[in-house]
Amino acid sequence: MVNMCRTRGPADIGWDRWFQELRALEAAGDGSEDFVDVGPKADSITTPNLSSPSSDNINHGPMQENVTSQNLPPPANDEENKLLDTLRKAAMMDNKTVIVTTLNAAWTEPNSIFDLFLESFRIGIGTQHLLKHVLVVSLDQKAYSRCLQENLHCYALTTEGDADVMWFRDPFERFYPDGDFQIACDHYWFNSTDLNNSPNGGFNYVKSNNRTIQFYKFWYAGQQYFPGKHDQDVLNMIKFDPFIQRIGLQIRFLDTAYFGGFCEPKEDMDLAITMHANCCIGLENKIHDIKIVIDDWKRYMSLPGGVERNLSSRSWTLPRNCR
C-alpha cells in the first residue's frame, strides 16, 4: 500500500507532538484541549514485564519536564502545519474537542466496519452532528480517498488502528469533568477510579494538559522497558506506577453499562452510548456481529414513541462469532 502523504504522527514523533498540535488549537479558556480517540494507540507503543508494576527503577527524567504553552515548539514542518489545519477544521465550537479514529484499506470495502461506524452516528440519538468533528487518520491511499468521498476531515498517517466502536448517543455528558484521561473497559468493577479495571484503548477521552502530555510520554517510553508488549498491556502495567500519582493525572474508567463492548455485554439499550467490537478476533467476525448490533439498534429505535420498552425489546443480541 502507498501512502498519499507520509507524515510524522504519533508513531514517528511521539504522542507529545500530537498533543502539542492539539494544544495549538487552544483558545482563551481553561488551557486544555479535549479529544476522543476511538481507535488504539500507535502500534509503535509496544512495550516488559518488570518484576513489579510499580517500576520505580524506570528513569522518568525527560517525562517530568514542565510543558507549557509558552515553551511548546512550533510545528516542525509543512506536514505538521497540515495536521494543525485539519485539527482546526475538525474542532467543535469550543475549538478544543476533536473525535479521532483510524482507517486502513481493509476497513473501507463495501459493507465494511467503516460503513457501520458511520451509520451508527447517523442512526444514533444526538450523534449526527458529531460526524462533522470526526478526524479520520488514514493509513493508506485507499483509506484516504474513501475518507474524502465521505466529506470527512482526513489526515494521512502511518500507524495501526481501527474504527470498530459504534456511536449511538452523544457521550460528552457521561464524561467526568475532573478526569484528565478517561478510557473504556473490557471489564468494569463498578468504580471509575479503581485501577483494577481492565482498560481498552478502543475508546478514550483525553484532555491535553501538562499532566496528560507527561503521561503519554511515559506511556510511549514504555516501549524501551516492555519490548514486544501491546500498548494496552503496557497501560495495565504503568497505571499503578507512582509516577502517575506524582504528576497528578486523574484517570477515570468508563462504565460498560454506557460504553459497552463484546467482552462484557450489557442488557439495557436505554443506557447504551457506544458499543465496541472488543474481545473479537478476525475482521469478518467483527463485521458479522457489528451488523447484529446495528440491526438491534434499528429495532430498538423503531418502537413507537411512548411505548414502554420491556427487557427483551431493549436488550442487545449476544455476540455470535465474537466469543
- For residue 267, the model assigns a pLDDT of 77
The C-alpha atoms of residue 63 and residue 40 are separated, in whole angstroms, by 22
For residue 113, give the nearest of 2, 39, 187, 171 by alpha carbon: 39
- For residue 71, the model assigns a pLDDT of 40
Percent of the chain with pLDDT over 90: 41
> Of residues 84 and 70, which shows the higher confidence score?
84
pLDDT at 244 over 80: yes
- For residue 115, the model assigns a pLDDT of 92
pLDDT at 64 over 80: no
Phi, psi of 276 (to 5 degrees): -110, 135
pLDDT band at 93 (very low <50, low <70, confident <90, very high): confident
> Model confidence over 260-308: pLDDT tens digits?
999 988 878 999 999 999 999 888 899 999 999 999 999 998 887 655 6
**Average pLDDT value for the chain:** 76
pLDDT at 34 over 60: no
Identify the residue whose cell numbers are 504522542. 15
> Model confidence over 148-193: pLDDT tens digits?
999 999 998 765 567 789 999 999 999 999 999 999 999 999 999 9
What are the b/e assignments for 154-193, b being 16+ CB within 10 Å? bbbbbbebbbbbbbbbebeebeeeebbbbbbbbebeeebe
The C-alpha atoms of residue 33 and residue 135 are separated, in whole angstroms, by 15
Mean pLDDT of 53-78: 41
> Model confidence over 94-151: pLDDT tens digits?
767 899 988 888 888 888 889 999 999 999 999 999 999 999 998 888 899 999 999 9
- For residue 22, the model assigns a pLDDT of 46
pLDDT at 259 over 80: yes
For residue 18, give the nearest of 60, 57, 75, 92 by alpha carbon: 75
- For residue 227, the model assigns a pLDDT of 85
Structural domain boundaries in the chain: 10-47+56-253
Work out the number of other CB atoms within 10 angstroms of the CB of residue 284.
8
Is-contact 83 138, C-beta < 8 A? Answer: no
- For residue 38, the model assigns a pLDDT of 53
> Which own/partner contact pairs does 144-149 have at CB distance under 8 Å and 24+ positions apart?
144/3, 144/4, 144/5, 145/4, 146/103, 146/108, 146/114, 147/103
Mean pLDDT of 55-73: 38
Mean pLDDT of 236-250: 93
Strand order in the sheet with 153-156: 153-156, 134-138, 97-103, 33-37, 198-208, 181-187, 251-253
